[in-house]
Structures are given as structure tokens and as C-alpha cells.
Structure 1
Amino acid sequence: MSFSDRLAARLLRGGQLLPDGAVSGPVHPLLRLFSRWVRRPLLPALRLWRRNIQLRVVATTLLMSLAVVLLLGVVVVGQVRNGLLTAKAQAAQSQAVGGFEVARKLADGGDENHSDDNSRTASRGTQDSATWLTSLVEQLASGGQGVFSVVALSSDSDEPFGDSTPGTRGPRASGDVDPERSVPVELRRKLDSKSGTFRQYTQIKRIGSNDGMPALIIGKRLNDVNGNQYQLYYLFPFSQEAESLKLVTGTLATAGVFVVILLGAIAWLVVRQVVTPVRMAAGISERLAAGLLQERMKVTGEDDIARLGESFNKMAQNLQLKIQQLEELSRMQRRFVSDVSHELRTPLTTVRMAADVIHEVRDEFDPATARSAELLRGQLDRFESLLAELLEISRFDAGAAALEAEPVDLRDVVNRVIEGAEPLAERKGSRIVVRGAEHPVMAEADPRRVERILRNLVVNAVEHGEGRNVVVRLASAGGRSDGAVAVAVRDYGVGLKPGEATRVFNRFWRADPARARTTGGTGLGLSIAIEDARLHGGWLQAWGEPGGGSQFRLTLPRTAGEKLRGSPIPLEPEDSRRNRGLDEQGRPRPGAGRGASTIPAQPRPGAQHAAARPAAAPPALPPGGSTRVVPQHTPARKGDGARADGTGEDTRPDTVTTGDPVTTDGPGARGGAAATDSTQQETGRDVEREGGRRGH
């Protein structure tokens, strides 16, 4: 961005430009109000200027044409003016020289009847000098009325300049010319000191008026009939030249305006011929993007625009063909998955019945056969869960999923989910803490789908929490029409690495492929969960940091069909490293001491303690508020240094790196639901059926 663009942007925003484009601090309210008042009427014009290329081209053409016309007009008017002045000066010079010659002859007695010296001397003596000057001015000016004026001034310093009464040799002027103000003092002094003809541009002043007329004055010092010196001036006004120049200027201005308008119209038509196909292509592109794949451009002619239209139509045709092929392939895949899932149900039911019969009498078999019967039943449970989730995914892909919304209290849903996850949490050494359950959290939702979402989140949190506590938080905000409810599940386990949040809701994705699955999941749990959330018009979002745990947040509108505007629970929890003022190594970040939170990190399990003490609320919880802890009786694990109560807490700070929080309602954090390991199937069978069959 150039400096002028940045300056205009800063001025439009009411800020002050500082070095390097920085903006100053708070602006005075009056200045902000003034900038807003100036900016508001300019916004529509600026928006139109940015969006309309035809307007920009035409406006640029008009401005450039106007500049060219103005330049040509100035040059032409200047040439005409110089030509008029030159012609006027030449004509005035000839007229003045002729007048000076007539005055000299009259002063010398140029009459043919006075040929001898005696008679010439007698004639001079009988004629008064003042009367002669008056008659001379009248005689010289008689042939140039409206063309020039004549002024005669005395060269005697003793004679008052302004005295023009009869009998004196004061100034004489033809018409109503004011000789005192019309003849420049510099020119008079030059004539007094030098001989010859001189000229100068001046202003003709009229008696009783202060208005001046541009004129050319030509003067010369002569002798009158008595031999006394006087100054004779010819004043040539530029009135006719001014009228001619005005006429030329007006003609050029009128022609220039018509030329500019004509060029603007031509530019508009020419640009329209180019812009119209582009706009047509843009409109067709938008309709193609909206799914109307049969749209095509109208092609006329054989020029570049026509070739562009043909290429565009070929591209659209190829895209339509490819999209149709992909859609057909996708339909075939969905149909295949659905058909296979349905067809496998019949043999699976038969195998299930046989496996149940074998499992019932497993005590009569040898240990190896009994163990095989147990593994067979566990894998059949997993297979049934996989088929159920594949069928659910196929319904989402086909658009056949329906929402059965009804008023539901999310506290009841959370309680059912926690009751089903307690065996797994007890086996993992975790505790599930519920916060915000003191008030009803009502929403219009499908309880079956919401329970499936929360079951996936809670079981995932327990599975990846590494024996630490899992916090489930409920909150609501807003009214019935624009309100929202949210449930957040926070764990303090392995967390998420940067970039994993965008892939967590993908089908069959796991953050660590080498990690053992212990809950019988299929890898489709979060994929189904996000589809359930979207079916409600809600958000399923995730946040995490490597080694610092993660948080999944489900946000639903209070009323089904309403649009969400926000969530009552922040996506990034209060006990994240950034909120606690820690860097990636877990050390205090410079400059973050005053504003950082002091909430401690969730302690790691396995610390050595001298004596066992009762389980307490996790230190990651802020003090106060209503919490419910799901108790469990977990025996101390051998060799890991855990406490006897199974909490596994220690006092070491959490020193893992911080990941970027996820703020979109797209893919979020950890992968799909965990799967079971064959060696652990027996101990987790109840949880496997609860989680696997319901979409974990």
C-alpha cells in the first residue's frame, strides 16, 4: 500500500499517521466525529469506485481528456493572444509614427502657404501655445475615435501637471481619458531624459471611474509652435482584442466540453463492449458455483471476447462432466456402504447368536477356547458398532438424517453420559467433575443425538486424559429467541499439536496411529458428532495445546432453527498456558505477570506422597461455584507412585508447549472415538457396548 493510500485510510478512520504507518493513541472525540461526518458521505462513492471497473475507466478517460483539452486550450489561447498583441503593436506603432509626424509638421508650420521664414515666424508669434495643443489633440484624435486616444503633456517642470485650464500648457486628452492616471510616471520620466519613441503597456483610466482598460501607450517628446517641448502619447485600448480573445476562449471551451463529453460517451460504449461479457462471465460463474451447472455464456463473433466465451463454456462443460462423474461415484460409494451394511446385518445376527451360545458355555471349555470365545464376542460388539456408525454416516451423506427436537434439560443428558462413562473413568483413574449444573439448561434438541455427541466427547476425554480429571461445564445465555446453550468437556491429557485441530473430525483419523484403542471405538465418533451438531444448527469446536489437554465445546441454539451468534463458554479455557501467562516451555512469559491468570495447571499423576488423603476437587477449577464430583474407588497402581486415593496428583507444574486455539465450528481437536485392544476387551465390555453402539 502506498503512502497516499495509507494516509487516506488513516484519515478516513479518524487516526493520525505516525512513522512506519503506525496509528496514534485515542483520538479526540470531536476529531473522530468530524472524520465520521466526512467519511460517511464518501463511503458509497468509494464502494462504487472500487466495484465498477467501467466507471473507473470512463472517469479516467474523462479526466485525461479534460487535462488534454485544457492544455491545448491554454496553448491555443496563448498563441491567439500573442498574435493579437503583435498585430496590435505593429498597427499602433504605424499609427503613432504617422501622428508624431503630423504633429511635427504642424509645429514647424508645414502649411504650403507659409514658405518663407519671416511669414513662419509671424505665424508662430500670433498663435498661443495652449490653444495650439488643444487643437492638435482634437485634430489627431478625430480620425481614431474608439480606436485610440491622444494625450499631450507639458515637459516644463514648473507647469502644474494637473492644470488643464484654457491658457495654460497643462495636460490635454481626447475624450474622457484621465491623463494623470493613464500615463505611467516611468514613461514620462523616460521621455524627459531621452529622445525617441517609447511604448509601454498600461491601463486607461476614465475620468470619474476607477475601472481600467488594458492598453498600449506610445509616446514621444516634440516641440510646439513656440519651440517649447511637450510629450505626445497615443493610447491604444485592447477592447477589440479582448472581445476577440473572449470569443476564441468561449469557442474553445464549448468545443472542449463537447469533446470531453463525446470522448466519455465513446469510452463508455467501448468499455461496455468489453465489460459486459466479463460481467456475464462473472454472473455465470456465480450461478455455476451455486450448482447451476448448465449455465453457459452467449458467444457472438470471432474476436478475443468470443474466444474467452468459448473457453469459458468448455471449462464449464468439463467441470459439469467431472462433477457429475464425482457425484455418481459418490452415490455409488454411499449406496455400496449402505447396501453392505444392511446385507451384513443378517449374517452378523447369525454369528452373534452362535457367539452368544458359545460364550454362555465358555466355562466348560479349556482356557484357550474360553478366551477365544470372549475375544469373539468382543470383536462382534465392535463390528456391530462399526456397522451402526456406517449406517448413520450413510444417512448423513444421503441427507436422510432427521431431527426430532423437543425441550430437553442438558443436565439430564450429561448425567446419563457420565453414568455410562464412570466404569471407564474408574479404570483410567480419572474423575469427572460437573460445573454449572445448579440451574436448568433448557434447549430444543434431539436428546438421542445430543447424548451421542456428549458421550463421544466425554469418553474421548477420559481415554486421552492420562488419568487426570475431566471437567464438564454447562452454561446458557440469552433469551429464548436469540439464546444459546453450551457444554464444554475439558481434559488435561496429551492435547493437540498445531494443525491437528483441522483434521480431528475426519473419518477414521487418529492423532497417534500407534496409540492403543481401549474403548472399542471405530474412528467415526467425532465425524458423526459434528454432523449431529450441524443438524441442530449448532457448533462443535475444539481447542488444545500439546501436553496441556484439550477442550471440546458443543453450542446449540435454545430454539431449534435459530441462528447462533455466540457461545456462553469461551473456547479457550481459563487455565490454558496463555491465560496463565506461560510460554511454550511453561515458564512465566515476560510482561504477562500482571494481567495473567494464576490458575495452576492440572497436576500429573504418579507423584510420590508420604501419606494418602481424601480426593479433592482438581486444582484447575477456579474457587467457588457449584461443582459435582463423580466419586470412584480406584486402587493405587503399583510402580507409578500414585496416591492411594487414585488421584495421581503431584506438585510439578505443567511445562508443555502451547497450541493455537480453534475458533471455527469446523474440525477441531482429537480424532474419532477410540477402539478397543483385544487384550483389554473383557474388562471394558460394558463401556464398549455403551460407547460403541451409540456412536463412539
Structure 2
Amino acid sequence: MRLGGLRTRLLVAFVLVSLLSAGAATALAYREARTAIVHRAQNAALEEFRDQVEEVARHTEVPPDGPALTRFAEDVADGLRDGVVVARYHDRTASSDPAADQTRVTAELRATVRSDNRLAFQRVEHAGRPWLVAGTPVVYDRARHASGLEVFAIVSLEPEQQDTAALLRTVRDGVLPVVGVAAVLALLAARTVLRPVRDLGRATRNLADGELTTRVTVTGRDELADLARTFNHTADALQTSVAELREQEATARRFVADVSHELRTPLAAMTMVCTVLDEDADQLPPDTAQAARTVSTETAKLAKLVEDLIEISRFDAGAAALTPHETDLADAVRGTLAARGWTGRVHAELPPGVRARVDRRRLDVVVANLVGNALRHGAPPVTVVLTATGEELSLAVSDRGPGLPPEAARHVFDRFYKADTARTRSEGSGLGMAIALENARLHGGTIEVADRPDGGAVFTLRLPRRRGARCGEDDA
């Protein structure tokens, strides 16, 4: 059970509520039971004391002498439950138990009995034990005149205290089973509630992973069932939308591929004508020669765009394949720079002996795009650094230009993305960096972009030393 999870919180909540409820019920039950037991014992003791005093007083002469006063106290005590009786007549005092501590009869109680001429009582603590101390005057005539004889009874309330303590222990011992039952009920409730939640979470993860046919079973008519139905409706709508988008994307890609292929034939003818015009441009009038060169330049750009579109369509169709060979990467990079006349414009740090199985043509495309991008949109010096570890090769192309704004860095590998303040991805088509990234992925690698701490941008091609192609290999 995961700490901090919903099941844990439900279990803790149930147990806390059970503990609070049981604690409150125990406290209330103890208080009420204790009050009822003490009051019942107190009233019984007071009633018994009053009756006993009245019964014994009928046979007692007033004023009593010392032995008579002692006998009076003993006779009253005989009718009480384990009580000690103290009799007072003016300054004379007698007790049914001479060894008993008479300090439990407080001066306050004696004053109340004498002044109010009625039965009075107090509950006191003495030596850590509870006592009921009651006192009453002895009255003989109907006018209720006091005879001067006062009687006090000291009755222990310890049995009642033990009864209430036993009751408290019983109720307290019952708390643990209550909490255990609450925990079991909490687990059952959590299981009932969390099962559809877990199912919904699992379905949501599957949906996020692309399993658009995922649905959840709807049971019941509660809020969780409504949530499950909502999820299924959302999944239906998402599946429909994704299917439509995929169909539209496939249609668009087929259109681009078809148009690109259809343009290759007329572009080939236009390129041949432009080549002838370029050769004869010096013999044409100046305006005609300028127009011929412009047409030739734009035709070359259009041909490059068509070739890029065809290459992208191969990646989209999964038809791109590697032709890998064991290659010296330093020689391959130097060949790319020399073929484009960049050797003198780029500082290259290419250690010899770094070899890997790569498709040299596709590697040439990647390096040409990265270096060309740095030359066009960065600032010198442009540096190419090749490094190798046991598992990975990296080729870093850096410059000292303005660098890439965060927005441009997020979209630099997107197709047709261009920004005036950022690097474009090819010579005008907006596809060069996207093609470079696809070629890197075809090798099992990637391209990373970052800003240099001292200004400029750095694009890093990372390739594994040994790995099969993503889309297949052709070793022919």
C-alpha cells in the first residue's frame, strides 16, 4: 500500500473517525456512568444514614453522657455499610471507631449542619481515596428544634470508584476491536472505490501511450460510473479525431510525394535548358543574360526543394534505408567540407582513426546542413569538433553568432520553420534541419541544440559506435 495514496488516506480517515467516535463515546459513557453510580451510592448512603439516626435517636436520652454518646455512635454505625460514625454533643465527641481519622469531618460541614439545622454532606479525598461525609442534627419535637446532638457518618466511595474504573477499562478495551473493524471496513470501502479509479487510471495511461481502442467497463450509476462513461465518450471522440487527422496527414503526404515526383521530369528538362543558357549567357544581351541566370538560380532552388520533399516523403513512408559501410569519420567530414568549398572557412578538429559503420551519403547530408546553417546564420569562427568514446560518437558544429532564442530552439527541427532571428534549416526550403535529424535517427542517433556560454550556438550530432538502422539497412 503506497504511503500518501488514496487508500492510505481513506484508511487513516476511517481509523481517526473511529478513534474519535470511540473516544468521545467512552468519555461520555464514563462520565454518565460514574455520575449515576456515585449519585446512587450517595443517595442510598444518605437515606440509610438518616433512617438509622432517626431509629437510634428514639432510644437515646438527651443530654447523653460519655458512654451513652459512644453507644449512640456505635448503634448508628451498626446500620451503615462499613461506615464510621462520629457523634458530637457540644464539646463532647464520641466515635464508633476510636482509631478513625476524624479530620475527614471538615469544619465547613460542621458549620453547615449547625447553622442550617439539616442534613448536609461532602465528598472528600483523603489518603488518595474518595469518601462521602454526611452530617445531621438530632431533632425530637415537631418544631424541629435541634437537641444539640450532631451525628456525622464517614462512608467510603472506593467500591463505586472501582466499579467506574472497571467500566472504563471495559469500554477502553472495546476501542481496539472497534478500530480494527473500522480498518477492515475502510479497506473494503477503499477497494470498492479505488478499483474503478485504478481501472480508469490504467485506461488513461494506455490511451496516452496511443492505445486509442482502450475503454473502461461502466458499472453502477454513481459518480464513478459517470466518470467512466465520460472517459469512454472522450476516448471515442479522440479516436475519431486521431483517425481523421491521420487520414488527412496521409493524404497530404501522398499529395506532396506525388507532386514532387511529377515535378521531377519537367524540372529535369528546365535544368537542362538552364544549363545551356548559363553556358551561352556571355553571348546574350546583358538583360537577357541576367534573366537567364536568374531563371537558372531559381530553377536550381526549386529542384533542391523537390528533392528535399521527396526525401521527406521517403522518411514518412518508412522507405528510407541505410547503406552503411565502415567509414573513417574524419575523412568523411573533410570530404564534405572540401566538396562545398568550406575547408578554409571552417576550423576542424578531426582526430584520425575514428571509425564507425555509417551511410556516408546520409552523413554528408547531416554535416552539410549543420555546417551550412552555421556559416549562413552564425558568425565566424565556425568550428567542427569530432570526439569519440567507447559507445558514442559526437560531432559538434559551433559558431559565435547571436545564438538561438528559446522559441527558435524549440522549433528549429520542425519542417518549414523559419525565423528571421534564428537559423533556417536549409537553403531556403525550411527542410534541411528536419532531414538532418531524420538521417541522424536513421543511424540510431540524434541532434541536440544549445547556446554556447560565451555566445553562439552549437549543434551536436550524436551517433552510437555500433547500431543497426531504424528503418532497415542495405549493405549491397
Q: Deviations over 1:157-177 (max 9, x none)?
A: 9x9xxxxxxxxx996539xxx
- Secondary structure, aligned partner of 1:233: strand
1:555 aligned to which of 436, 442, 462: 462
Q: CA deviation at 1:270?
A: 5.2
Identity among equivalent pairs (%): 31
2:36 aligned to which of 83, 86, 98: 83
Aligned to 1:173: 97
- Secondary structure, aligned partner of 2:105: helix
Over 3 Å counting, the alpha-carbon distance change for 1:204 and 1:331 in structure 2 is same
Over 3 Å counting, the alpha-carbon distance change for 1:56 and 1:407 in structure 2 is farther
- Secondary structure, aligned partner of 1:422: coil
Over 3 Å counting, the alpha-carbon distance change for 1:234 and 1:95 in structure 2 is farther
Q: Output aligned runs, 1:211-610, within 5 Å.
A: 213-219=129-135, 232-240=152-160, 242-243=162-163, 245-246=164-165, 248-249=167-168, 252-253=171-172, 272-356=191-275, 359-360=278-279, 371=290, 374-403=293-322, 408-423=327-342, 431-435=345-349, 437-438=350-351, 441=354, 445-465=358-378, 468-477=380-389, 480=390, 483-512=391-420, 520-544=427-451, 548-560=455-467
Greater per-residue strand proportion: 2
TM-score, normalising length from structure 2?
0.77
- Secondary structure, aligned partner of 2:218: coil
Unmatched segments (≥5 aa) in structure 2: 139-146, 470-476
Provide the C-alpha distance between the structure 2 equivalents of 1:484 and 1:153, rounded to a whole number of angstroms: 109
Over 3 Å counting, the alpha-carbon distance change for 1:317 and 1:154 in structure 2 is same
CA RMSD of aligned residues (A): 4.3
Over 3 Å counting, the alpha-carbon distance change for 1:132 and 1:495 in structure 2 is closer
Provide the C-alpha distance between the structure 2 equivalents of 1:234 and 1:179, rounded to a whole number of angstroms: 10
Provide the C-alpha distance between the structure 2 equivalents of 1:448 and 1:229, rounded to a whole number of angstroms: 129
Report the residue type matching 1:523 in the other structure. G
Over 3 Å counting, the alpha-carbon distance change for 1:404 and 1:106 in structure 2 is farther
Provide the C-alpha distance between the structure 2 equivalents of 1:301 and 1:84, rounded to a whole number of angstroms: 52
Q: CA deviation at 1:260?
A: 5.4
Report the residue type matching 1:68 in the other structure. S
Provide the C-alpha distance between the structure 2 equivalents of 1:253 and 1:188, rounded to a whole number of angstroms: 36
Q: Could you tell me whether the CA contact under 8 Å between 1:217 and 1:235 is conserved in 2?
A: yes
Q: Deviations over 1:184-219 (max 9, x none)?
A: x363555777754653334576xxxxxx54332335
Q: Could you tell me whether the CA contact under 8 Å between 1:405 and 1:560 is conserved in 2?
A: no
Provide the C-alpha distance between the structure 2 equivalents of 1:407 and 1:149, rounded to a whole number of angstroms: 113
- Secondary structure, aligned partner of 1:505: coil
Report the residue type matching 1:493 in the other structure. G
Provide the C-alpha distance between the structure 2 equivalents of 1:203 and 1:139, rounded to a whole number of angstroms: 26
Q: CA deviation at 1:439?
A: 6.5
Q: Output aligned runs, 1:28-47, within 5 Å.
A: none
Q: Could you tell me whether the CA contact under 8 Å between 2:346 and 2:384 is conserved in 1?
A: yes
Q: CA deviation at 1:456?
A: 1.0
Over 3 Å counting, the alpha-carbon distance change for 1:442 and 1:77 in structure 2 is farther
Aligned length: 455
Q: Could you tell me whether the CA contact under 8 Å between 1:500 and 1:511 is conserved in 2?
A: yes
Greater per-residue helix proportion: 2
Unmatched segments (≥5 aa) in structure 1: 1-44, 110-119, 160-168, 206-211, 563-696
Q: CA deviation at 1:488?
A: 2.2
Over 3 Å counting, the alpha-carbon distance change for 1:230 and 1:512 in structure 2 is closer
Over 3 Å counting, the alpha-carbon distance change for 1:136 and 1:445 in structure 2 is farther
Q: CA deviation at 1:383?
A: 3.3
2:83 aligned to which of 143, 146, 149: 149
TM-score, normalising length from structure 1?
0.55
- Secondary structure, aligned partner of 2:84: strand
Provide the C-alpha distance between the structure 1 equivalents of 2:86 and 2:199, rounded to a whole number of angstroms: 81
- Secondary structure, aligned partner of 2:450: strand
Q: CA deviation at 1:85?
A: 1.9
By relative contact order (CA 8 Å, sep 6+), the higher-ranking structure is: 1
